[in-house]
Structure 1
Amino acid sequence: MKYFLCFLFIVFSLQITAQKSDFKNLNFEKSDNTAKLLKGENLYNLPLLTYNLTSKLDTDVEKFRAIYTWICQNIKGDYYMHRKVSKNRDKFKNDSISFLDWNKEYSKKVFKKLLKNKKTMCTGYAYLLKTMSEIANIECRIIDGYHRNTFANIAELSLPNHSWNAVKLNNKWYLADATLSSGYTDLSLDTFIFDYNDGYFLTDPKIFIQHNYPLEKKWTLLNPELSKVTRFLNTPLMYGAAIKQKIYHDSSSKMNTEISKNETVNFHYNFLEPLALDKIELRVDEQSSAIKTRVTQISKERNTFNISCNFNRKGLYDIHLYYKNEIISSQSIEVKNKI
């Protein structure tokens, strides 16, 4: 027996401008090919490596792209280094001075391992991108803050757990996250898998804030209303595929919602690029059971779609949006007799 019905309808809203689209007239093929030609180069002479990556490129954004792509395709993430830092961050969470002392000493090992083995964690990615960009005379900053995942920064901020970059191109600041672009660790194989995600390259800040939040609010690159920390903490959980496909939630969507039985919920989604309607799927899970609801209509000229679901049985439901069989977002609905 099915306990709810789901419908799709389209609403119109103004499309935001993706940051990478500022350079839509540029073709990054030359930058990407340059990075591929230098695959496997070591880090012992960063000025020479940076020169070889950028000397034949005309614009700063093309040069930054070549550096960024090379890092993402050549530097492996070190999960065990990340775990060690996280463990000590928790250990010293009430003693920031002791953690800073420990971190200062451990940073020496981090950068030694980066240089020798081309393996690192987020701080190493951000440091390398900043250093090579500055060698190429491109202004770049390391941004420390919070990354949101299933274990951290849900509803309330945990300890800072991530670093990324802001880069200045044509007198305008942009955001980029080489760590999350590069790939992931397959723990079952105990190995890092290179899996480039272009979505984290010059990401629109309105999308970026649903994944990362800086210690300094100004680096959200958003106005005060849009840069509220609640926008980061309370929206549904977004995954890497969401930023790759440029799908995001609007400000009205919440991670956890309580409703009364027989109430209808509208799930709002926005997108910046055309979607294949037959590849969109909503999965509604209740304990061990699940119902898959495939979207059957969508306007490729709009950038917002809603899926409307009626829940007529009490329970806790996990709502997952999938696109091309990749999970996009998750949120929860608790249905009560009456609220």
Structure 2
Amino acid sequence: MSSYRPQPRPTRRVIKRKSPNANGGLFTGLVLVGLIGAGIWYFSPSGGSKSLPPVNLGAIADKLPQGINPKTLVVTQRVENPIAGNTASFSGDGGERLDNLARTIVYQGNSVKELAALISPLANNDWEKARLAYSWITHNIAYDVPMAETRNIDDLRPETVLARGETICSGYSNLYQALAKELGLDVVIIEGFAKGGDVIVGDDPDVNHAWNGVSINGQWYLLDTTWGAGIVNDGKFEAKFNPTYFATPPEQLIVSHFPRESQWQLLSQTYDRQTFDTMPALTPRFFRDGIALVSHKKNNIVAGGDLEVTLRTGSDVQVLAQLMDNNGQPLDKQYTLSQNHRGQVTVNAAFPQPGDYQLLILSKNSQEETYYQAIAYDVTAQGVGQQFPRTYGTFSEKQVRLISPLGRTLPQNQASYFQIQVPGAETVVLVDENRRELIPLNRTGDIFTGSEIISFDNVTVAAQFPGSNQFWSLLEYD
């Protein structure tokens, strides 16, 4: 006999954050480093359903610290026609081993030469030297948030950075250049404009960040030790090693780093500043999960009371969205509805009132427990929309497509027409929890339909799949 058990509704834990300041970028207060529950409940098979897994909304914005004072930047020679290397050759092989090896190097002095002498015997080639230098710096040098925020720039020479153990981006790039040169590598400092989640910048609209280029076997690779070292969370630096920013493919780094000299884009077709400025904020997750923009390819969107964004993803990728208000605070989950059906993703957003918002789109694969930000859009809403039904984890996992009704609230004592596509389901029902009654919908292939007069609250739509008598909650209406 089939069964359905009432389930506790997801709760949320919201960590309050500072409001953004004038120099805080998109929303300095948005930290969200894995601390927004967004319904972090797990429903075992005996309980019926799983909710959505945790959402890391600040790895969401990947809170990338920045800051530059050109006066402290070590200027390097211009390289004629630098040739981009094949970053695919620097994928996982050896990277993790070298990162772990770098963690074992203990050095508390202030000599670049002495540090290089510790690293050099551990490296077998230039690639390993470049990676070990990146990994040691990102694991041992902290980002100096007060210096970046107050613009009270201290001595950023490599020796001083080593002695203090903290710096801003100019100091990071200075140290990497000095250490890599001591290891026998050709390296440059690249200055330009960077955009990301937690942006700590100066007043110059053209130059607010510095990173590096390193030559390995005659070809050039891009890296950013500042962004590889950690994140800024509520005005405090949190060490969070990120290997993504070593030998980052040029076509990926350009979405967040725009060099002053176009040759350091390392692209056959270079971007102009206008193109860079109008691109949505894309993180490494966007590329890793094979996401493609279909409907909205520019950052700024003007919408009415609701918005629909279309994407494509790989088959093993799950997507959800989070709407943020103008103060960087997350809105109720039911202001967004994400549907991934056979690689075609539709993200719907509804706005509680006219105004400015940010729409964050997050992704994960089936092996992960947490969603991370892939895309961010700035949205100006000119109307008011209706909230969507609450969805559960099974809705996303089974790639369910809700056709109607899309509104959160169903009219009482009136007929509502239900149409929902649930791949692989044997039965889809409406659940009257008060009377413990299951109302089946009609099945045509994997589409289930039915017109029902609703006279009870909290209508749950649940599905039964082959091999089990248990019904799993998909979504819930008020």
After superposition, give the CA deviation of every residue in 1:271-327 in whole Å (9 maximum; x if it has no partner): xxx67534x21234678555232444455xxxxx55364879984553210233333
Q: How does 1:17-56 map to 2 (within 5 A)?
A: 20-24=87-91, 26-39=93-106, 41-56=107-122
After superposition, give the CA deviation of every residue in 1:160-219 in whole Å (9 maximum; x if it has no partner): 11110011112211110000110123446x5x3210111111111111111111111111
After superposition, give the CA deviation of every residue in 1:232-274 in whole Å (9 maximum; x if it has no partner): 21112235x6479566765961111235678x7444467xxx6
Q: How does 1:179-198 map to 2 (within 5 A)?
A: 179-187=226-234, 190=236, 192-198=237-243
TM-score, normalising length from structure 2?
A: 0.52
- The percent identity for this pair of structures is 20
- Structure 2 SS opposite 1:230: helix
How far is 1:117 from its partner? 1.7
Q: 2:175 aligns with which of 128, 133, 144?
A: 128
Q: 2:125 aligns with which of 59, 62, 74?
A: 59
TM-score, normalising length from structure 1?
A: 0.70
1-side partners of 2:225 and 2:238: how far apart? 14
Tell me what 1:327 maps to.
Answer: 373
Tell me what 2:190 maps to.
Answer: 143
2-side partners of 1:327 and 1:167: how far apart? 28
After superposition, give the CA deviation of every residue in 1:32-74 in whole Å (9 maximum; x if it has no partner): 23211114x1242322321221223222111111110000000
2-side partners of 1:245 and 1:254: how far apart? 20
Tell me what 1:255 maps to.
Answer: 299
Contact 2:320 2:347 in 1 (8 A): no
1:84 aligns with 2:128: no
1:318 aligns with 2:358: yes
Q: 2:336 aligns with which of 292, 302, 324?
A: 292
- Structure 1 SS opposite 2:122: coil
Contact 1:259 1:335 in 2 (8 A): yes
Contact 2:223 2:248 in 1 (8 A): yes
Counterparts in 2 of 1:312 and 1:75: CA distance versus 1, 3 Å: closer
1:164 aligns with 2:204: no
Contact 1:198 1:244 in 2 (8 A): no
Counterparts in 2 of 1:230 and 1:295: CA distance versus 1, 3 Å: same
1:281 aligns with 2:320: yes
Counterparts in 2 of 1:107 and 1:314: CA distance versus 1, 3 Å: closer
1-side partners of 2:166 and 2:131: how far apart? 20
Contact 2:231 2:239 in 1 (8 A): yes
Alignment root-mean-square deviation, CA: 3.7
Tell me what 1:173 maps to.
Answer: 220
- Structure 2 SS opposite 1:203: coil
Counterparts in 2 of 1:127 and 1:298: CA distance versus 1, 3 Å: farther
Letter in 1 for 2:175: L
Counterparts in 2 of 1:71 and 1:246: CA distance versus 1, 3 Å: farther
1:235 aligns with 2:276: no
2-side partners of 1:76 and 1:326: how far apart? 23
2-side partners of 1:125 and 1:57: how far apart? 21
How far is 1:159 from its partner? 4.5
The number of residues matched between the two structures is: 286
Letter in 2 for 1:203: T
Mark the structure with the bigger radius of gyration.
2
Contact 2:156 2:167 in 1 (8 A): no
2-side partners of 1:243 and 1:49: how far apart? 36
Counterparts in 2 of 1:80 and 1:286: CA distance versus 1, 3 Å: closer
Letter in 1 for 2:137: I
2-side partners of 1:78 and 1:139: how far apart? 27
Counterparts in 2 of 1:163 and 1:150: CA distance versus 1, 3 Å: same
Letter in 2 for 1:67: A
Of structures 1 and 2, the one with the larger relative CO (CA 8 A, separation 6+) is 1
Counterparts in 2 of 1:275 and 1:174: CA distance versus 1, 3 Å: farther
Gap regions ≥5 residues in structure 2: 1-83, 364-369, 384-478
Tell me what 1:98 maps to.
Answer: none
- Structure 1 SS opposite 2:191: strand
Letter in 2 for 1:161: N
